Amino acid sequence: MFIGHAVFLSSVFVTALIILLFKVLRAVRQRRSPLHGKQIGHVPGQQLLDRIGDADREADFGYDVMIMALPMLFLVWASMRIEWQSVTFGVAEACFFAGWLLMLAYGFWQYRRHALRKEQARDGLLAERVTGMQLNRLVANGCLVLHDLPCGNFNIDHVVIAPRGVYAIETKSFRKPKSGSTADPNKVKFDGTTLKFSDFATNAPIAQARRQAKFLASLIRESIGEPIPVTPAVSLPGWFIEKTADRKSADTFVFTPMGRGYEWFSYGDEVVPPQTRMLIAKALALRYPTVE
């Protein structure tokens, strides 16, 4: 019986040690979200979402106990009936040990892959919420705001229908390097085509925002029968945007919604009249699924 317990406890110990080491190494090496430690307002139903998450974790624990109850007790029962003094370590035992190592490696690979996906999704969700809450303030300035607009096999994170024009906004969450690892870890330069962070550069968000703006302009033209230009925009919550001289001719607006950065959409002369803005909003609202 003791050996059976030892096998089970050893497996638990090795697994826990691997997960702990993984988390420690991640904490030492990983970049940090620009929204880390900031006071973020709650979205409607935030407390209920927290309660649902807690309930899911508790329910998963109960499910795991149900699944493991019989195998664990069977292991104890079987270990009590084995003549351990006659057990020898041979080819069969080596195969079982190798199989355990393979399963352990596969399990860790799955854990690591999905842990990183969860981390990225959590950062993205927080960034979209922050951007959405800030953009909602534009309603007081005569703007209409839609979020997560369905567009077939993709969604547009935010759409602002302002007096000065229509904007398709893509929100991105990039983690900052640790302080001291680069010269300006809190800044990103935008030259009109590329986002240049302190330790890497990318133009993928700009290209994505342009594609979405083009699609939205086509959708609006088909819906209301009037060509309305749509400007692509990229939101980077928590970053300081340093715009170079080349940015003046850019067709994409890059901004941070923090502070008063969102107010840019309400500036300028009226180009789209109120009746047209309402028609656009009604046409786009039809893309959301109805609740029967």
Q: How far apart are CA 171 and CA 246, in angstroms?
A: 22
pTM score: 0.76
**Overall average pLDDT of the 50-54 stretch:** 82
Q: Which of 109, 112, 130, 127 is nearest to 30 (CA)?
A: 112
Instruction: State what percent of residues in the chain have pLDDT above 90.
Output: 37
**Overall average pLDDT of the 52-65 stretch:** 85
At residue 195, φ and ψ (nearest 5 deg) are: -95, 120
Single-letter amino acid, residue 244:
T
Single-letter amino acid, residue 179:
S
The pLDDT value recorded for residue 232 is: 96
End-to-end CA distance of the chain: 59
Q: Which of 242, 33, 40 is nearest to 132 (CA)?
A: 40
Q: Strand 187-190 vs strand 240-243: parallel, antiparallel, or unpaired? A: parallel
